[in-house]
Structure 1
Amino acid sequence: MEETATFRDFSGENYPTLAAFLTELRPTEPVSEDSLRRLDAGRATGEHHARTLAWAGAKLVGVVETERSRTFTRPGWYGLHVHAAGSSLTNSSPANPSLGSPSLRAELLKQGLNTLRPLSPTVLHTTLDEHAAEYRWLLQQGWREHERTWLSRLDLTTFRPEPFSGRLARSRMAGVEVRTPRELGWDGSESFQRRVYDLTVQLLADVPTTDPILPWPFELWRKRVLDHPDFTPDGPLIAVQQGEWVGLTELYLPRREVPGLLHQGLTGVRRGWRGQGVAWALKLTAAARARAQGWEAVSTGNHTVNREMLGINAEMGFVRGPARVVLVREWAEISAAAAPPSAC
């Protein structure tokens, strides 16, 4: 007999199974139960988030997740993410979708749409690997590409800083020093926290992206960044010139699912201080510190329109992996496609 899927809402006991399922789908980007729990714990109060799981008996075969994401925060924008296991089973029907078939993905999508409908969404978005089956399938459904991000990794075991000594010398000639918050007097006070936050907000405003980045309110930023278990005042690096904080690179998030891998987040330089080698000083100092701490590699992500940072990364030896692509579709288009034809 052909196996069919049943659908149930996510519960806390499903974290281990969901982590294993997502890791099986993308073994190069493993997910842990702990990382899922931390991500969920960092959501704002009242922020929409839901998961529906597809099961074949006791086996998880699919999940659809809906959310107000941390990145796309414009009114009416909601994330909808479909993940289905692969299978060669065929001859399914929409009422009883077989595992891994297009109808399983379609039913998961339908479940997500039903979850979001009461919230009056205007635009749906999803982020996925350009090689994922769901990417091609959603394009066929009428979704379109909104933005693209390159993921890349620097092998610290083979990285050699000597060819870049002139870059560092230039920044030092300009009076640039790179320090951690602890080295700059971190005391955990709100005034110090807000100084880091204000610098972050200034830098985010200039990150080349398809959409302007809307910063989180201070309290939410503190919850998601400073209160994160992996945050340490010895992690981020701040570029200082004549007492001014002029740049930042975030270097404090280990990818615990991948031993030896450290993630590098935002790297930016304030207007007026660019062209003096500050970005290079931050990137090279970060690589040196990470290697000295025993990390084997550093990963990062950059929007494809961020040509300057992509150029620095390429010159340093960061190797690009598959792109992560954001697809969008207007809710009105989905509603129109689902509406019955009018009578003649």
Structure 2
Amino acid sequence: MLEAKMRDFRHSDYDSYASIHNAFDPTHPLFLERARYEDSCFGRTRYRMKRYVAESDRGEMVGVGGFEHLFFSYHPHRFALSVEVHPTWQRRGIGGLLYERLESELRSAGAEAAWAIVESTHSESVAFVRKRGFAEKRRFLESTLDLTSFDPAKFEPRAKELESKGIVFASLAEEMSRDPTSGRKLYELENSADRDVPNIVKPKPMSYHDYNIIILKSPVMLWEGSFVAKKDYLYVGSSSVIKSGLKDTIEQGFTAVRPGFRRRGLAQAVKLMVAKHARSHGVKSILTHNDSRNEAILTVNEKLGFVRRSERIEFEKVLQD
């Protein structure tokens, strides 16, 4: 076993953190702009995070581990836990040392449970968490829409039908430029829809204060490519997009439809607006992640042409009875 030194993560560690993460999981490179901003939200909101690094005896950063509240699966006593060790330094006990530090701190703080999200194809990572008492709770599906072959024409009739019934589609950038209450209206819409999205816990709703910091002020949100559906002045549907950090690719965020306006094709229509705008601006692919139990949105995605690319497993370990 290597004698690794543990220390707190520093702001100057981000580039080394990205190198470790990208070597550990090259199919999902760390998008530093997003990572830096979201880290800055901890401490300014109700969400908490702690991160450590492992260094070799030469001072080389060889591993990273941390725990944090999840923004959209918030429970005050449950945290997501992650451990990443550079492949050239694996099988030397570094991951185990990081994990032991993290679990000890969580137990001391009275945490009820820890979650670990692992690529289903990373057999060693799956074995690592299972060995430490984690059990599978749910799966996330990652899918992509190829905009180079996407044909919006066959989806236009439904959108036109909605417009004939008084639904108006607009980009959120337009809405924000002319309506100072648009951010709060989007927050209220997403909260109304989020209650019905499958989750690992029944999350406590995000406050508008935190939503404003984490979402509305985020530099990675692409409001000009995000769309809302309105009925008079009421927001009844929306779909947001985010910078992905990948070439010619954007990430689809939350697609929300207000209860009472469902089963009318609104989710498909707002996602259509997103896809059309993205394609017209040279984007070649849209990436999205969904709970495998969210049959409604998975059906919409399949109709639009999203193809499943990979799968992640969320594990849970109970820390306090």
Match of 1:202 among 192, 195, 199: 192
The answer to whether the Cα contact below 8 Å between 2:21 and 2:86 also exists between their aligned partners in 1 is no
Aligned residue type for 2:151: R
The alignment covers a number of residue pairs equal to 318
Q: Which residue number corresponds to residue 312 of structure 1?
A: 300
Partner amino acid for 1:236?
A: S
Give, in whole Å, the separation in 2 of the partners of 1:115 and 1:245: 43
User: Match for 2:211: what amino acid?
Assistant: W
Q: Where does 1:157-176 land on structure 2 (aligned, <5 Å)?
A: 157-176=148-167
Runs of 4+ displaced beyond 4 Å = none
Counting aligned pairs with the same residue, the percent is: 24
Question: For residues 150 and 123 of structure 1, do their structure 2 counterparts lie closer, same or farther at Cα, with a shift above 3 Å needed?
Answer: same
- The corresponding residue for 1:281 is 269
Structure 1 residues 230 and 82: CA distance shift in structure 2, 3 A = closer
| Cα contact 2:119–2:311 (8 A) shared by 1 | yes
**Unaligned residue ranges in structure 2 (runs of 5+):** none
Are residues 44 and 4 of structure 1, via their aligned partners in 2, closer, same or farther at CA, if it must alter by over 3 Å?
Answer: closer
Corresponding residue number in structure 2 for 1:93: none
Q: What's the Cα RMSD here? A: 2.3
Query: Within 5 Å, which residues of 2 pair with 1:7-156?
Result: 7-45=6-44, 47-56=47-56, 57-87=58-88, 99-101=89-91, 103-132=93-122, 133-156=124-147
Distance of 2:265 and 2:138 partners within structure 1:
28
Checking the alignment, whether the CA contact within 8 Å between 1:143 and 1:328 is kept in structure 2 is yes
| Residue in 2 that maps onto 1:241 | 231
AA aligned to 1:160 is D
- Which of 237, 243, 257 lines up with 1:254 in the alignment? 243
Deviation of the 1:58 alpha carbon: 4.0
Instruction: Please identify, of 222-231 and 209-218, the stretch whose mean Cα deviation from structure 2 is larger.
Output: 209-218
Quick one: structure 1 residues 11 and 73, their matched pair in 2 at CA, closer, same or farther if it must change by over 3 Å? same
TM-score for the superposition, normalised by structure 2: 0.90
Contact 2:225–2:277 (CA under 8 A) maintained in structure 1: no
d(CA) in 1 for partners of 2:284, 2:169: 22
**In 2, Cα distance between equivalents of 1:197 and 1:64:** 32
Are the structure 2 counterparts of residues 102 and 146 from structure 1 closer, same or farther at C-alpha, using a change threshold of 3 Å?
A: farther
> 1:3: Cα distance to partner?
5.5
Matched, 1:292 2:280: yes
Report the 3-state secondary structure (helix = DSSP H, G, I; strand = E; otherwise coil) of the residue aligned with 1:186.
helix
Tell me which moved more, 293-302 or 230-239: 230-239
C-alpha distance in structure 2 between counterparts of 1:223 and 1:185, whole Å? 16
Alpha-carbon contact 1:83-1:134 (below 8 Å) kept: no
Contiguous gaps of at least 5 residues in structure 1: 88-98, 334-344
The match for 1:327 is 315
Aligned equivalent of 1:193: 183
Deviation at residue 233 of structure 1 after TM alignment: 4.5
Question: Whole-Å Cα distance in 1 between the matches of residues 117 and 30 of structure 2?
Answer: 16
Q: Counterpart amino acid of 1:227?
A: K
Alpha-carbon distance in structure 1 between the residues aligned to 2:55 and 2:43: 29
Residue 77 (structure 1) shift:
0.9
TM-score of the aligned structures, taking structure 1 as reference length: 0.84
Q: Secondary structure at the match of 1:234?
A: helix
Structure 1 residues 211-265: Cα deviation after superposition (integer angstroms, max 9, x where no partner):
33432110110011111123454232111234432111112x1112x12111111
Alpha-carbon distance between aligned partners in 1 of 2:62 and 2:15, rounded to the nearest angstrom: 14
2-structure distance, mates of 1:171, 1:210: 34
One-letter amino acid matched to 1:212: K
Larger radius of gyration: 1
* SS of corresponding position for 2:108: helix
Distance in 2 between residues matched to 1:104 and 1:76, nearest whole Å: 26
Moved more, 283-292 or 140-149: 140-149
Change (3 A) 1:58 1:162: same
Deviations 1:119-173 (A, max 9, x none): 1111111222122222222123221112211111111112112333343344334
1:220 counterpart SS class: helix
Is the alpha carbon distance of 1:21 and 1:246 closer, same or farther for their aligned partners in structure 2, counting shifts above 3 Å?
Answer: same
Distance change in 2, residues 1:71/1:135 (3 Å): farther
Q: Partner residue of 1:336? A: none
Partners in 1 of 2:175 and 2:86 — Cα distance?
49
